Structure 1
Amino acid sequence: ALALLSLRPLRLTAEDIVDLKDQVELRLSRHFYDLAALAPQDAEAYARMRSVAWQRYGLDLLDGGLPAGSLAQGLDVIDVMRNVHLLATQYCYSLHQQFFTQASNQGEAKIRTITVEHLAASIRVHGYGVINTAVNYSVGFIKRKLEVVAEFLADESVKSRLLADKQWMQGRSCYTWARGVESAKIIRRLGAGRDGVSFLDKLRQVVSQIGNSLGYVRMVRTAGMRSMAGSLDFLEAAPWLGRRDEGPDGMTNEFLEAAESTGSDVAVKEAAHLADVAARSVRRCFEASTDHLNLLADVFTKALARPQGGGVAPRLFHLLVPVLGCCFLDALLFGRELLAKRAVTPTGAKGDAVLFDDGFAVGVAFVLRVFGLERDFQSLHWFQTEIADSDVAVGRAREAAGLPFQDSQRSAAQAAADRRALLSAELGHLAAAMEAASALFGAHAVESPAPEEPGPAADTGDDAAGD
């Protein structure tokens, strides 16, 4: 095949000339165009074939210029952006695998998922500029949720309990599990909403919603990089393209300068300018300046650093994290139990059937970063606490759903031991998730586990300081 393609044009008659390479290029270009028009979702595959044809056979195939498509597009990035509040409330985020799954309490047979591939395919259709718009939508949503967190912390009853916890921590090396459970019980007495969910659990949901919206921002940036990844080969072959310079606009225009130096016409100069813009866009997509999570954290941190931006109440948020963590682990275990039961038979219990919910860890890490309380939370050493069988009580989520603590076939002691093992395992997973989430904001929420020093016995939460 290579020998035939390398042949010179053949003269059949005085007027007829046949160029085998030109005929192959024409037929393949037409064939790829027709197939891409019939199945737009395969346009990317045909683009790869054109690249292979050029690299292996030297065939210069024409690009049909058709818009890209995908069968795996799923929810459009613009639809998700406009309904970011629904994404934050109805979906659960996976930190390491970067996808969302729908947390439904209706028992449907099918659930929706949102992956990076879905967003990348949507960005190819709408363009890279949609990323900044998606970030702006998320900023407004996060701002409103942070106001809810600050309002909850400003409540006098909540503040008094957190101040009591702060006084209780003096002289102790670790915030115990029992203390967190006891504080959760006291704060839950403040009341509940019309749906019967306590204000403490609503705050836990708000923190998870903040984390979910930040996870969406991270997924959008990853999808943008993935959509631009196909152009990296061209920049690696020409590392001088699209680089920053110390000029007036901070950018170089190699193609345009080369076109002007050769005295090219206007059309060539315009094409050269577009090539420079495209090269800069690809490089900008992978620069640290597009790390939106760090940028958001810096923006909100500076806003709260102003005299009118914060107060004493937000400085106590780190003491509320163990309380929220106890509620979160209880709700997570209950959600997994519902998911396991719905896989066998429909159940009428109220609650979200979930397998994971890393949005809580991301939200907590973000709020700690914004309030500047990372080291204060580390000093609690809450993740190093041990859960005793006596600390395990009926889960609040199970109690709200009207379900018993243990099955009739198991003893109470065995059920308590099993629940303690599950809570201990999930506490370790939460610590790892928070450490990974804190790394996204340029901080570390969890120190390396150190050997525990002998200290006072685990508190049951009934001392006078806590009451």
Structure 2
Amino acid sequence: MCVCVSPFLQVPAVTLTANIIWFPDTFLIAKVPAAAKLMDKKSLQAIRAQRDTYLQQRAQTLTKDVQSYYVFVTSWMMKMESILSKDHKSDKLADDLNSRCNVFVQGILYRPMTKTSVKALCRLVELLKAVEHTFHRRSMVVADSVSHITQQLQSQALNAIGTAKKRVISDKKYSEQRLDVLSSLVLAENALSGPSTKERRLVVSLALCVGTQLKTFKDEELLPLQLVLKKLDLISELRERVKLQCDCSFLYWHRAVFPIYLDDVYDNAVDAARIHYMFSALRDSVLSMLYAKHMELCDQLLESYDKEIMDVFKEHLLDKLCKEIEKDLRLSVHTHLKLDDRNPFKVGMKDLKLCLYMHAHRFVLERTYVTHYLDKTFYNLTTVALHDWATYSEMRNLATQRYGLTMTEAHLPSQTLEQGLDVLEIMRNIHVFVSRYLYNLNNQVNFTYQFLRKKFYIFSQFMYDEHIKSRLIKDIRFFRETKDQSDQKYPFERAEKFNRGIRKLGITPDGQSYLDQFRQLISQIGNAMGYVRMIRSGGLHCCSSAIRFVPDLEDIVNFEELVKEEGLSEETQRAASVLDSVLGDLTSNSAEGTEYFKMLVAVFAPEFRSAKNMHLRNFYMIVPPLTVNFVEHSISCKEKLNKKNKSGAAFTDDGFAMGVAYILKLLDQYLEFDSLHWFQAVRDKYKKEMNAVVKEQNVQSASQDEKLLQTMNLTQKRLDIYLQEFELLHFSLSSARIFFRADKTAAEETQEKKDKEEAAKAGGASDGSTPTDPASK
């Protein structure tokens, strides 16, 4: 009874193939009834108890075993890389081949396979594929080394057999048995003298079975020979043995471990780079599927297997990774809300970037998958809430910086999260907006007709006022009489005197003079134009983005006619008609938006230049006092920026320059204003004063009067600030004049328009005249 039960206790189970396990006791009881009678219940229970005990022991020691195997395999891989990377040296060739042989053999043996713990099993599978990949990666060097190692081992075996053969020949006694031994040794030598094929090695093994009789080999000679032949078998079948020992096709029957493995990889992202070993192991099952007989086409089985693996991969790793990265980006962008404690020392930190560079599957790039998910999510969420576009744009930038993802621009209409003015609200209250809006010339501009009409009415009333009109006529007469003495420059002192004189006419409760209010009026006109142009520029930008695919705006093909000529279907003709309509709208919108300032001037210019508004022609003379007033106001606003109470503080108001340039164009007074050489006079005046201060500083430097020197420094600084403000205003005004083609007068523009009309008529007449057909005569 003992003899029968003990093998069952030593071998609890045998894996035949795939997931088919053979239990010896169960098999004997089922197939050999006589054996069942010989075994009592106590023996059967002992066998089952031993099986459970064996399983528990293996489960307990598995983690420790896996760790030792992991260290062993990694050290072996490093040895393999190190030895195969060395250069050959002729004097150490034998030692080198021996070490290579030992490493190769070491890599084939000691390959454990256990199925008791999922994570440990998967780690062992990774180790197996790591061994296989090491051999594959160095396959060229291994193949070269195998041939040399084989020759060396054959040489060692031949030397040992040669020694034994000499010993047999030296014995002069003749016998048939001795002759057979000698013949077998000669046969072994002949077999070892050629390529190390399987048949030759079998012949050597059989020959030595006879050749080792009669104590042909000494004990110290036989053991090394057997070891050499064993190595020769292993080295000769190295590729086949590595493939066989590292074959993981059994995983097909244990696919349930894959989700658990992926969860472990995701939780421990540091080891994510080893996932390609698991996919390599899963690929081993493909070869068996090609020979499947239970399906008509093997491709169906392969597609089903591939879909199952990829679905699990996406569900347990990629989708989790996508959501985690999205959550990280969202929390990072909303850090200011303090939604969660993100201190890595308290809550830990996972480097998700490592999961983006796993290269688990050659057809699935984790980085591309995550990028597509984020692009789709950000796009869909932006379409639902357009006001969040800035948040998702920031998340895109953060994804690029933190994870190296190449994000796609959404190309959706941009709105804002800032609590600024709403466009529709501004249009409803344009009069309130322009009184508070400070236009910056560097940001784009435009206007609205009805509002300008009202403002120009107030403008005309101011210019018609007797106090203003009389002062301007007096200044015009003065400049004409004294321009030769003043080098054709309007005196700065005259503009300052005008500015101070207006204040004597009275001021408002908030301390503003009539000239201050007139300056504000002009700034509001410029700001209104600036705002409308800004809106129009946005429309043109969108229009140009849509029309950029049209090759030639001047020559657009009529698609509907072409489709009808080809006799295509009605649906195609309707589609071509819609396309023609869209192209027509885009072209007209693009053309209309290019000369809107010209249209603006054309609307008001005739009225401004008419005889009944002669009082407006004095406007160019009020511009110098206005600039003085504007510069004082601008400096005052900028100084308020550094104060605690910033009411009325500002750093730019290009609406004034825009308004002045526009009104000068309406009155066709660019030449009259330029004749004043106003900004040159300002520049000369301040440079003269600055030079005087410098000379005074040089004179007073010897007196060592600190208070006086400090006063002079402040004076020089104030003159620098005023000169800089006038220069900035000059540049802004020059830039604003470009919008209205300041290089042409009204007469020149009228003549240019007539020339174009005549040219167009002449071109039309030439196109309409056709040569007479001689045949008709």
TM category, shorter: 0.5 to 0.7
**2:222 is aligned with 1:222:** no
Residues 91-106 of structure 1 mapped to structure 2, 5 A cutoff:
91-98=437-444
Residues 322-401 of structure 1 mapped to structure 2, 5 A cutoff:
322-339=624-641, 341-342=642-643, 346-347=644-645, 352-385=648-681, 386-388=684-686
1:107 — aligned with what?
Answer: none
How many percent of aligned residue pairs carry the same amino acid? 27
Asked if the contact 1:301–1:371 (Cα under 8 Å) also holds between the matched residues in 2, the reply is: yes
Q: 2:457 aligns with which of 130, 147, 156?
A: 147
Amino acid corresponding to residue 665 of structure 2 in structure 1: R
> Which of 1 and 2 has greater Rg?
2
Amino acid corresponding to residue 663 of structure 2 in structure 1: V
Deviations along 1:264-308, one digit per CA (max 9) or x if unpaired, are 44443332222223223333344365321221012110232345x
* Cα distance in structure 1, aligned partners of 2:582 and 2:380: 25
Per-residue deviation, 1:76: 3.8
* Cα distance in structure 2, aligned partners of 1:326 and 1:347: 25
- For residues 69 and 335 of structure 1, do their structure 2 counterparts lie closer, same or farther at Cα, with a shift above 3 Å needed? closer
2:727 — aligned with what?
Answer: 428
Per-residue deviation, 1:203: 0.5
Per-residue deviation, 1:262: 3.1
In structure 1, the residue corresponding to 2:582 is in which secondary structure? helix
In structure 2, stretches of 5+ residues that fail to align are 1-296, 307-369, 397-409, 691-706, 745-777
* Cα distance in structure 2, aligned partners of 1:319 and 1:39: 54
**2:438 is aligned with 1:438:** no
Residues 276-355 of structure 1 mapped to structure 2, 5 A cutoff:
276-287=580-591, 290-307=594-611, 310-339=612-641, 341-342=642-643, 346-347=644-645, 352-355=648-651
1:263 — aligned with what?
Answer: 567
Q: 2:434 aligns with which of 71, 88, 93?
A: 88
Residues 132-211 of structure 1 mapped to structure 2, 5 A cutoff:
138-170=448-480, 171-172=482-483, 173-211=488-526
* Cα distance in structure 2, aligned partners of 1:276 and 1:32: 33
Asked if the contact 1:256–1:276 (Cα under 8 Å) also holds between the matched residues in 2, the reply is: yes
**2:382 is aligned with 1:39:** yes
Deviations along 1:63-112, one digit per CA (max 9) or x if unpaired, are x9x9845446854433322222233111211112448xxxxxxxxxxxxx
1:60 — aligned with what?
Answer: none
- For residues 365 and 372 of structure 1, do their structure 2 counterparts lie closer, same or farther at Cα, with a shift above 3 Å needed? same
Amino acid corresponding to residue 458 of structure 2 in structure 1: V
Per-residue deviation, 1:204: 0.2
Asked if the contact 1:191–1:199 (Cα under 8 Å) also holds between the matched residues in 2, the reply is: yes
Asked if the contact 1:387–1:420 (Cα under 8 Å) also holds between the matched residues in 2, the reply is: no
1:113 — aligned with what?
Answer: none
* Cα distance in structure 2, aligned partners of 1:36 and 1:139: 38
* Cα distance in structure 2, aligned partners of 1:197 and 1:89: 15
Asked if the contact 2:459–2:518 (Cα under 8 Å) also holds between the matched residues in 1, the reply is: yes
* Cα distance in structure 2, aligned partners of 1:288 and 1:387: 45
In structure 1, stretches of 5+ residues that fail to align are 1-9, 19-26, 50-63, 100-133, 245-251, 393-407, 446-467
Amino acid corresponding to residue 37 of structure 1 in structure 2: N
Deviations along 1:95-143, one digit per CA (max 9) or x if unpaired, are 12448xxxxxxxxxxxxxxxxxxxxxxxxxxxxxxxxxx95xx111111
- For residues 391 and 234 of structure 1, do their structure 2 counterparts lie closer, same or farther at Cα, with a shift above 3 Å needed? same
* Cα distance in structure 1, aligned partners of 2:574 and 2:424: 31
Amino acid corresponding to residue 382 of structure 2 in structure 1: A
In structure 1, the residue corresponding to 2:685 is in which secondary structure? coil
Taking only aligned residues, the RMSD between alpha carbons, in angstroms, comes to 4.0
Amino acid corresponding to residue 454 of structure 2 in structure 1: R
Deviations along 1:210-237, one digit per CA (max 9) or x if unpaired, are 11111112212221222234324411xx
TM-score norm. by structure 2 comes to 0.40
Asked if the contact 1:243–1:280 (Cα under 8 Å) also holds between the matched residues in 2, the reply is: no
Per-residue deviation, 1:182: 0.3
Per-residue deviation, 1:328: 0.1
1:53 — aligned with what?
Answer: none
- For residues 290 and 78 of structure 1, do their structure 2 counterparts lie closer, same or farther at Cα, with a shift above 3 Å needed? farther
Amino acid corresponding to residue 424 of structure 2 in structure 1: I
More helix by share: 2
Per-residue deviation, 1:32: 6.0
Deviations along 1:1-32, one digit per CA (max 9) or x if unpaired, are xxxxxxxxx99569x999xxxxxxxx999986
Amino acid corresponding to residue 219 of structure 1 in structure 2: M
- For residues 367 and 69 of structure 1, do their structure 2 counterparts lie closer, same or farther at Cα, with a shift above 3 Å needed? closer
